[in-house]
Amino acid sequence: MISLVVPSLRPMLVSGARTCGTSTASSTSIAALPLRLLQFRNRDGTGNPRVGAQLADPANRHSLAAHGEIVDVTASAPTIGRDMKKLLESGRTGQQAVIQAIESGKHRLDIDNVQLCAPILNPPKIMCVGLNYRDHCAEMKFQLPKEPTVFCKLSNALAGPSDDVIIPPETVELDFEAELAVVIGKKGHRIPVTEALSHVAGYTVAHDVSARDWQLKKNSGQWLLGKSFDGFCPLGPVIATPAMLSDPGNLGIRSRVNGVTMQDSNTNQMVHKVDTIIAFISRFVTLVPGDVILTGSPAGVGASRVPPVWLKKGDVVECEIDEIGAVKNSFV
């Protein structure tokens, strides 16, 4: 087991509260701590999901070098840390619980001996933004949208970072889309753009699996059904807090199908940045801790290719974002 050398988190908390690339975090929130937050079960898939945390390497907090050890936050603080949504809702109390769990030196597990789940299992909302990468708009021959194109996925679409995804018989045009997902950490309505990033708990990787026939050709052109089949939103492997990332607005993002790179871009290609997206969506709905917002996918999707490339049984898709990690799912 690779053991974490655990310095006090108090100095990291002070530095983590500063502006981090395009992200700012309140010093009273978990977002200010340089952590990777996750949910996990026993390796054999048994037991209730638990919340865990990985501490950043003090020498390079943006590195994805192996951190073999996780802290079982649920074991340390069973009331506050029983699930990720509850932890995010608890604000400063949750922050202190995570600090105490890490600094105690107890409840350590080897990450290779657990099964990772989606980092949040009960998001109140899964919001999405379409056509939000300049290169993707260009390949699809669409003009850049003046406002975010917002749609939803239903919560049944959620899947873990290594779960199998069942291909439903209703679709023959199944597509892949790697996306940066934002996890909300603080409640807000009509959030000003200048304050939007203070509502972010962290960032994770999403695979916006899309049945293009049901998204674009059927159901009167409404996107919901084509985006919301069971398992159509693999998420994970962790929630990287803003303090963990060099700049969420400048991260490499890519997807691979059976090992072949299909998408290879950067989050700097976004038409509408994260702060604009949060401010826009919060004009219509109140955002609460645990909400997930998918921020769009770059060029290279299957629908844009000639001929189109549709997923089939036996395919393995990996969606990856620098400094956060990857989800890798088999289609069955």
* Per-residue confidence in pLDDT tens, the chain, 332 aa: 434 444 455 555 544 433 333 445 656 678 888 999 999 999 998 899 999 998 766 556 665 544 578 999 999 999 887 899 999 999 999 999 999 999 998 999 998 899 999 999 999 999 999 999 999 999 888 899 999 999 999 999 999 999 999 999 999 999 999 999 999 999 999 999 999 999 999 999 999 999 999 999 999 989 999 999 999 999 999 999 999 999 999 999 999 999 999 999 999 999 999 999 999 999 999 999 999 999 999 999 999 999 999 999 999 999 999 999 999 999 99
> What is the value of pTM for the model shown?
0.92
Check residue 12 and give its pLDDT. 53
Picking from 181, 185, 197, the residue whose alpha carbon sits closest to that of residue 324 is: 181
Euclidean distance between CA atoms 213 and 40, whole angstroms? 34
Q: How far is CA 241 from each of CA 54, 153, 204, 280, 319, rounded to the nearest angstrom?
A: 11, 23, 9, 22, 19
The per-residue pLDDT for 67 is 54
pLDDT at 302: 96
> What pLDDT is stored for residue 26 in this prediction?
59
> Other C-beta atoms within 10 Å of 271: how many?
20
Nearest CA-CA partner of 113 in 40, 195, 215: 40
DSSP alpha helices (H): ranges in the chain? 9-16, 73-76, 84-89, 92-104, 134-139, 212, 224-227, 274-281
What is the distance between the alpha carbons of residues 203 and 155, in angstroms, rounded to a whole number?
Answer: 18
Quote the tokens at residue 207.
Answer: 């695979």
